[in-house]
């Protein structure tokens, strides 16, 4: 117990120091959290100037906190929206989700086929580069103050579409690679939709009930009820093979229609920020830079192609929502980060453990997610500078 407590203390202290340095340098804290995870984690570098730095090795407890980070980032995102709003926007959500899928999944599939990979390996690669990171993007939106801006609607619509689609995609890939067949895939997908449908119904009809459940004068009991129910719903979703992030999002939309929103934002936000910081730290822990070096060319090519693809699809999505050119470009920049679901796909590939699925794809994904999460958060932070440059260039050309 003492060793575990010491490792958790080292991790949180490292995160705090890295976040402080990033803030002082006016940089995004997300890359800082990831880098300190690499430095303190069990992989190379294990020493710097002769001093051992591999100080955090037991990841089980860290993994749980990191999972809660994803859950609470999406829960807070749901607080900003209602089921009414999502239903009103369903046609535009379908449109931006379709654009996003066709362009980004298509680019991933083209890379796999150009490399001569078999269809199953190509499907894994396409899924890994297709899906944006809900956690990284949500954290960046909150940090940069975009959450109440017009850009957030097409970004949110794309994330919701992606997260639901990837739940179906994971079920199909697991069935294909695990030999479960079409029947098992249909059961998995049906279970996922029943669970999410139940959550959506609670969000739609249960505002009065949720209002009563969380009515208490004690902040302590209020926080415990919010954290407890959110974690319970996310855990149930995972047990059923459903995205815990989507489940947390729907629970957040339900609470968005109650009188508790302001209190949640006031008393639960610190817990969310701690969990989210540990999530980014955990990405660093999984990064073995020696493995990434072996697939550096593939990572480099994928980063360039998929950054451009996501920028184009995001910009088109902004236009679907009738945003201005500037705001549409910001949507394109906002959707670049990749993260947790790409790692989930890589874990599934590694569990099969044969050939390229067990070696190249996991190493590629770790390097790709590392670069894209850092690059994506920086692009969001520098969005004004980038859009100014792009707009001035197009104006000059005209």
pLDDT at res. 293: 81
pLDDT at res. 370: 84
Do the Cβ atoms of 165 and 213 come closer than 8 Å?
A: no
| Residue partners of 315: CB distance under 8 A and separation at least 6 | 328, 329, 331, 332
Polymer length of the chain: 398
As a whole number of angstroms, the distance between CA 66 and CA 58 comes to 13
Residue 365 burial by CB count (10 A; 0-12/13-18/19+): exposed, middle or buried?
A: buried
Tokens representing 19 are: 């976040």
Tokens representing 141 are: 């939106």
pLDDT at res. 202: 80
- Look at residues 268, 238, 240, 236 and name the one whose alpha carbon lies nearest to residue 252: 268
pLDDT at res. 305: 97
Number of H helices, E strands in the chain: 22, 2
Distances (CA, A) of 370 to 15, 35, 246: 17, 9, 23
pLDDT < 50: residue spans in the chain: none
Tokens representing 247 are: 């489940």
As a whole number of angstroms, the distance between CA 277 and CA 253 comes to 23
Query: What residues are paired with 159 via a beta bridge?
Result: none
Do the Cβ atoms of 321 and 153 come closer than 8 Å?
A: yes
Tokens representing 365 are: 């994904």
As a whole number of angstroms, the distance between CA 174 and CA 222 comes to 39
pLDDT at res. 92: 93
């Amino acid at each position: 117990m003492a060793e575990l407590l010491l490792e958790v203390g080292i991790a949180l202290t490292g995160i705090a120091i890295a976040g402080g340095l990033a803030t002082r340098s006016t940089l995004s804290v997300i890359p800082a959290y990831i880098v300190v995870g690499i430095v303190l984690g069990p992989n190379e570098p294990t020493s710097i100037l002769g001093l051992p730095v591999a100080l955090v090795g037991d990841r089980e407890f860290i993994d749980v906190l990191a999972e809660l980070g994803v859950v609470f980032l999406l829960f807070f995102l749901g607080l900003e929206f209602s089921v009414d709003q999502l239903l009103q926007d369903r046609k535009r959500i379908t449109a931006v989700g379709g654009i996003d899928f066709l362009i980004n999944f298509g680019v991933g599939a083209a890379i796999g086929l150009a490399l001569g990979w078999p269809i199953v390996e190509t499907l894994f690669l396409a899924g890994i580069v297709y899906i944006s990171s809900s956690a990284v993007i949500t954290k960046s939106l909150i940090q940069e103050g975009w959450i109440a801006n017009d850009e957030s609607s097409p970004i949110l619509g794309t994330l919701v579409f992606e997260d639901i689609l990837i739940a179906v995609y994971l079920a199909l890939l697991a069935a294909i690679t695990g030999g479960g067949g079409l029947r098992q895939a249909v059961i998995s997908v049906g279970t996922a939709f029943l669970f999410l449908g139940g959550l959506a119904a609670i969000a739609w009809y249960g505002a009065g009930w949720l209002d009563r459940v969380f009515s208490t004068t004690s902040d302590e009991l209020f926080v415990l009820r919010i954290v407890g129910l959110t974690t319970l719903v996310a855990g149930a979703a995972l047990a059923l093979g459903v995205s815990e992030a989507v489940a947390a999002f729907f629970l957040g939309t339900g609470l968005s229609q109650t009188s508790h929103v302001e209190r949640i934002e006031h008393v639960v936000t610190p817990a969310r920020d701690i969990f989210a910081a540990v999530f980014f730290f955990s990405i660093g822990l999984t990064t073995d830079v020696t493995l990434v070096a072996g697939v550096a060319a593939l990572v480099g090519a994928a980063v360039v192609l998929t950054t451009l693809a996501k920028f184009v699809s995001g910009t088109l999505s902004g236009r679907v929502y009738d945003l201005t050119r500037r705001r549409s470009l910001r949507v394109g920049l906002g959707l670049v980060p990749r993260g947790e679901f790409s790692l989930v796909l890589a874990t599934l590939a590694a569990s099969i453990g044969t050939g390229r699925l067990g070696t190249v794809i996991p190493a590629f994904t770790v390097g790709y997610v590392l670069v894209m999460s850092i690059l994506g958060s920086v692009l969001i932070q520098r969005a004004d500078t980038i859009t100014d440059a792009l707009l001035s260039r197009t104006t000059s050309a005209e």
